Amino acid sequence: MRTRPRLPETSGQPRFGERPRRPAPPRGAAFWLVALAFAVTMLGTTLPTPLYVLYQHRLGFSTAMTTVIFAAYAVGILTALVLFGRASDAVGRRRTLLPGLACAALSGLLFLGADNLPLLIAGRVLSGLSAGIFTGTATATLVDLADADDKERATLVATAANMGGLGAGPLLSGLLAQLAPMPLRLPFEVHLGMLTLVTVGVWLMPEPVKVTGRLRLSMTRPRVPEEARATFARASIAGFAGFSVLGLFTAVAPSFLGHLLHLHSAALSGSVVCAVFAASAIGQVTLVRPLGPAALPVGCGLLIGGMALLIAGLAAGSLVLLVGAAVTAGLGQGVSFRAGLTAINAEAPSGQRAEIASTYFILLYVAISLPVVGVGVMADVVGLRTAGIGFSVAVSLLASSALMALRRGRRER
């Protein structure tokens, strides 16, 4: 689509046939409006976490079905990554962010009326679509809106908005469910109010990139060039282990607390899940750079330590050990994820970085969904405690294999 040159204006009134221009905030203000919209959108994706137990009691489904409902989120994300990964480069950042916000709002509306499993699953799919559309586009938008010498800060703000929103979701809904009436309605009503406000901000923001054409759906095929495959494999093993842990805590932590520790507090469930994401954000922002080349091995070590604490916590029925596992594993996930992505970007050919990063994210979102469904199925067969311990052993083995692969890679250099 060709863009017409703008004619010089002689007055503040639009010319005949021209669309009146929207009032746009300054770029600095637009930057923070997008960051806020990013956080609010991601908040909605984890908002149902402490409420799954309430839905389970109301609708009478199993732990396995709880994990299936959670995993439906990954279906939405993967669909968005595969089909819309390049959309904002063609139609602009603003026109891509707005549909992401619309998906988040539709998800909230479905949860407000959710009285059966299909509505819950549909709400999770739409939530995943919103996250899949928003994550890459909002990060790119923040970088575009930042000053030329401030791109690194924009990336850190994007990380904080992403992980901060993910952590705030279960904390907010847990507190509202614990302290306020209508636990299955009020959290979503509050979130819809937030979405309304940030949608106005995104609607008014200036478009930071040139619109080059119309949206064309094209499937992004996962592909890794041969020269980057060894680094990609090592980073992916660690990333898979870390994102599996995120999936476990987000989907099953309330069940661990309720069924095994007999602690039926939505606020406590939300706080434990929040601790995982907060630790991940701290690991990504504060530890990766100082650790340098040691970041990926340290991240794997923290994941192993977190799983050891989780095994001990499940075996002993200890809240302290469970919280320790959440914080330690969250740190390990954040460090290993960020270090792995940095290593992949360093090894990838410059013209294929986006493609390889997209492949990496597709694998990670498979990791956040499929293993936790396996835990749910195992829980119905052998019990939740045994399933959680078995999962922890599997993650420890994955992280250990990543460590061994890293050592072999260093010897080969």
Name every residue whose Cβ is closer than 8 Å to that of residue 32 and which is 6 or more positions away in sequence. Answer: none
Residues 183 and 244 in one domain: no
What pLDDT shows up at residue 354?
Answer: 63
Residues 247 and 98 in one domain: no
pLDDT at 54 over 60: yes
With cut-offs at 50, 70 and 90, classify the pLDDT of residue 412: low
Residues 235 and 202 in one domain: no
What pLDDT shows up at residue 178?
Answer: 93
Residue 220 counted as domain residue: no
Q: How far apart are CA 278 and CA 68, in angstroms?
A: 25
What pLDDT shows up at residue 8?
Answer: 42
Residues 49 and 156 in one domain: yes
**Stretch 100-114: mean pLDDT:** 95
Residues 236 and 285 in one domain: yes
Residues 284 and 331 in one domain: yes
Q: How far apart are CA 101 and CA 89, in angstroms?
A: 18
With cut-offs at 50, 70 and 90, classify the pLDDT of residue 10: very low
Q: How far apart are CA 365 and CA 74, in angstroms?
A: 6
Residue 216 counted as domain residue: no
**Stretch 281-308: mean pLDDT:** 94
Angle, in degrees to the nearest 10, between helices 229-255 and 319-347:
160
Question: What is the extent of the structural domain holding 99?
Answer: 23-207
Residue 5 counted as domain residue: no
With cut-offs at 50, 70 and 90, classify the pLDDT of residue 383: very high
Residues 109 and 50 in one domain: yes
Q: Chain centroid to CA 317: how far?
A: 29
Residues 259 and 134 in one domain: no
What pLDDT shows up at residue 49?
Answer: 93
With cut-offs at 50, 70 and 90, classify the pLDDT of residue 199: very high
Residue 44 counted as domain residue: yes
Domain end point (choices 207, 234, 250):
207
The percent of residues in the chain predicted with pLDDT above 70, rounded, is 89
CATH code for position 201: 1.20.1250.20
Q: How far apart are CA 163 and CA 156, in angstroms?
A: 11
Domain end point (choices 207, 238, 256):
207
Residue 212 counted as domain residue: no
**Among 29-43, 142-156, 183-197, whose mean pLDDT is lowest?**
142-156
Residue 336 counted as domain residue: yes
Q: What's the domain count of the chain?
A: 2
Residues 388 and 244 in one domain: yes
What pLDDT shows up at residue 83?
Answer: 81
- Looking at per-residue pLDDT, the higher value among 346 and 10 belongs to 346
Strands (E), 322-364: none
Residues 143 and 260 in one domain: no
**Stretch 299-303: mean pLDDT:** 96
Q: In degrees, to the nearest 5, what angle opens at C-alpha 352 toward C-alphas 404 and 406?
A: 10
Residues 304 and 159 in one domain: no
pLDDT at 266 over 60: yes
Residues 255 and 173 in one domain: no
**Stretch 51-78: mean pLDDT:** 90
Residue 263 counted as domain residue: yes
**Stretch 159-171: mean pLDDT:** 93
- Looking at per-residue pLDDT, the higher value among 261 and 148 belongs to 261
| Residue written as token pair 């008014």 | 204
Q: How far apart are CA 404 and CA 347, in angstroms?
A: 20
**Stretch 34-47: mean pLDDT:** 95
Q: pLDDT tens-digit profile of 347-367?
A: 877 666 666 777 888 888 889
First-residue to last-residue Cα distance in the chain? 48
The percent of residues in the chain predicted with pLDDT above 90, rounded, is 58
With cut-offs at 50, 70 and 90, classify the pLDDT of residue 287: very high
**Among 13-22, 229-238, 277-286, 372-381, whose mean pLDDT is lowest?**
13-22
Return the closest-CA partner of residue 310 out of 390, 389, 371.
389
Domain end point (choices 181, 207, 233):
207
Residue 14 counted as domain residue: no
Q: How far apart are CA 354 and CA 345, in angstroms?
A: 9
Burial category of 337 from C-beta neighbours within 10 Å (exposed 0-12, middle 13-18, buried 19 and up): buried
> What are 385's two structure tokens?
């405690």
Please check whether residue 44 is in contact with residue 127, taking contact to mean a CB–CB distance below 8 angstroms.
yes
pLDDT at 14 over 60: no
